Amino acid sequence: MKQIKFSVLSVSASILVWLSSHWLTVVIALPPPEDTPEEILRTEIIIDARSPIDGKPLNAAEYAQLQEQLQVSPPPKLSTNLRQTIYLIRIRNALRQFFPFLDF
């Protein structure tokens, strides 16, 4: 009698585990209905952009004009004092990696 109860219990538990594991598999695999398919997103023409300077949103004409301006005029150069300071800071950081016990 115990063997029959045990076998019925184990079979029912196995069926329950199998059903619970496969019950929501189909639902989890599907994307949400409001999600746009990737095939449509690939063919979409992007008409909005962000400025590389300050990150403000631009339309396509403003973005093209800004890109043209950036190609024509190079970015401003740093002053010699500032360039030298940055160079010394980089040297100091490199020396700290080799000599961490020194206090610069």
Nearest to 49, CA basis, from 37, 61, 38 = 61
Nearest to 66, CA basis, from 85, 80, 53, 82 = 53
pLDDT band at residue 52 using 50, 70 and 90 as cut-offs: confident
pLDDT band at residue 23 using 50, 70 and 90 as cut-offs: low
Q: Which long-range contacts (CB under 8 A, 24 or more apart) does 98-104 make?
A: none
Contact 58/66 with Cβ under 8 angstroms? Answer: yes
Residue 86 CA to residue 61 CA, distance in Å, equals 37
